[in-house]
Chains A and B, each alone.
Chain A
Amino acid sequence: MLSRARFDELYTTSYRQLRLYVSKLTNGSDNVDDITQEAYTRLLVSAPTGLSDAQLKSYLFATATNIVRDLWRRGTVIGEWLPLDESIETKDSEWEALPLQLDIEKVLTGMSIMQRSLVWLAYAEGYAHKEIAEILNVKEQSVKVLLSRARQKFIELYRALESSSKEGR
Chain B
Amino acid sequence: MNTPLCSHEEEIIQAVIQNSLSMSLEQHLQSCVHCRSSVAITKNIQTVRATALNNTPAIPHPQIIWLKAQYMQKQKLARVDLLISAGAIFASLLIVFLVSAFLLPTQSSFSLLELLHSFKASRAFSAPAIIFVSAIILVLLLGHTSSKNMLFRRI
Q: Which one of A13-21, A50-58, A64-72, A74-82 is at the B interface?
A: A13-21
- B128 sits at the interface (CB 8 A): no
Chain A residues with Cβ below 8 Å from B76 are: 45
Taking a contact as CB atoms under 8 Å apart, the answer to whether A11 and B65 are in contact is yes
Task: Name the residue of chain A whose CB is nearest to the CB of B53.
Answer: A16
Q: Which of B1-9, B89-97, B132-140 contacts A (4 or more CB under 8 A)?
A: B1-9
Give the bracket for the number of chain B residues in contact with chain A. Answer: 35 or more
Interface check B33, CB cutoff 8 A: yes
Q: Which chain A residue has the least Cβ–Cβ distance from B42?
A: A123
With A41-B72, A44-B65, A148-B3 as contacts: A104 and B34 at CB distance below 8 Å: no
Residues of A within 8 A of B60 (CB): 33, 37
A126 at the interface (CB under 8 A from B): yes
Q: Contact size class for A?
A: 35 or more
In the complex, A100 Cα to B46 Cα: how many Å?
Answer: 11
Known A16-B59, A44-B66, A145-B3: A96·B45 in contact at CB below 8 Å: no
| B38→A93 contact, CB < 8 A | no
> Which of A15, A41, A97, A129 lies in contact with B40, CB distance below 8 A?
A97
Closest 9 CB pairs of A and B: A44-B69, A95-B37, A126-B17, A11-B62, A123-B45, A16-B56, A124-B49, A123-B42, A104-B48
Query: Which A residues lie at the B interface, using CB under 8 A?
Result: 1, 4, 7-8, 11-12, 15-17, 19-20, 23, 33, 37, 40-41, 44-45, 89-97, 99-100, 104-105, 119-120, 122-124, 126, 128-129, 144-145, 147-148, 151, 154-155
